[in-house]
Amino acid sequence: MQVFDTKNPRETFLLGRNLAVGLGAGSCIALVGDLGAGKTALVRGLADGLGADVQMVSSPTYVLVQEYPARDTTLFHLDLYRMVDAQGELEELGMEEMLAGGVVVIEWADRACDALPLERIEIVIEITGENTRRFTIKQIRNFVTVHRKEPRKNTNKHELS
Ligand code: ADP
Ligand code: MG
């Protein structure tokens, strides 16, 4: 887990730009934070770092997904804010295809927790002051439970009965 504090939108932009290093096809970034937290501001930095046109980045409030061509990849920018059924919409979008083709960044990701990729970078943004924001960054890896083919040998009689 890493924590970063920014003092203005420019610093948030630069944080996003730094985060872009090391991202590529298959990366998913889940953004969590209130309206005005700086999710879109961070996405601008990500876009810049990936070599996409920053001018194209706006809150995709009325389109579920915006696609920005970048240097070696594509940035898919999603916003679940107005989705009535965010989870269902996200499932229909074809996450696997997007991940195969580029980096996926999702605003209001907490609205569709169960439909997010099992492996992702989660960034929680807190508004700590008028111009200050705290970014808490975590690498999430939720493994699917693999069922054993053979039942585990159990010598505990109480559990066997
Ligand atoms: P969100 O997408 O989370 O709703 P935006 O990125 O669209 O938020 O907007 C963030 C707002 O907060 C902008 O108006 C921006 O100027 C302001 N702001 C103030 N301080 C910061 C900061 N440190 N980082 C990012 N945005 C900030
Ligand atoms: Mg936004």
How confident is the model at residue 161, as a pLDDT?
A: 45
How confident is the model at residue 133, as a pLDDT?
A: 98
Residues 18, 24, 30, CA angle at the centre, nearest 5°? 70
How confident is the model at residue 127, as a pLDDT?
A: 98
**Could you tell me the mean pLDDT of each successive run of 10 residues in the chain, 161 residues long?**
98 98 96 97 98 88 86 95 86 92 96 92 98 97 68 56 45
What is the number of the ligand closest to the CA of 32?
Answer: 1
How confident is the model at residue 27, as a pLDDT?
A: 98
Paired residues of 121 in beta bridges: 29, 139
Q: State which of 124, 127, 131 you would mutate to test the pocket of ligand 1, scoring each by most atoms of that ligand within 8 A of its C-beta.
A: 131
Q: Is 15 in the pocket of ligand 1 (CB under 6 A)?
A: no
Dist. CA 143–CA 87, nearest whole Å: 19
What is the number of the ligand closest to the CA of 125?
Answer: 1
Q: Is 40 in the pocket of ligand 1 (CB under 6 A)?
A: yes
How confident is the model at residue 63, as a pLDDT?
A: 76
How confident is the model at residue 64, as a pLDDT?
A: 82
Q: Is 105 in the pocket of ligand 1 (CB under 6 A)?
A: no
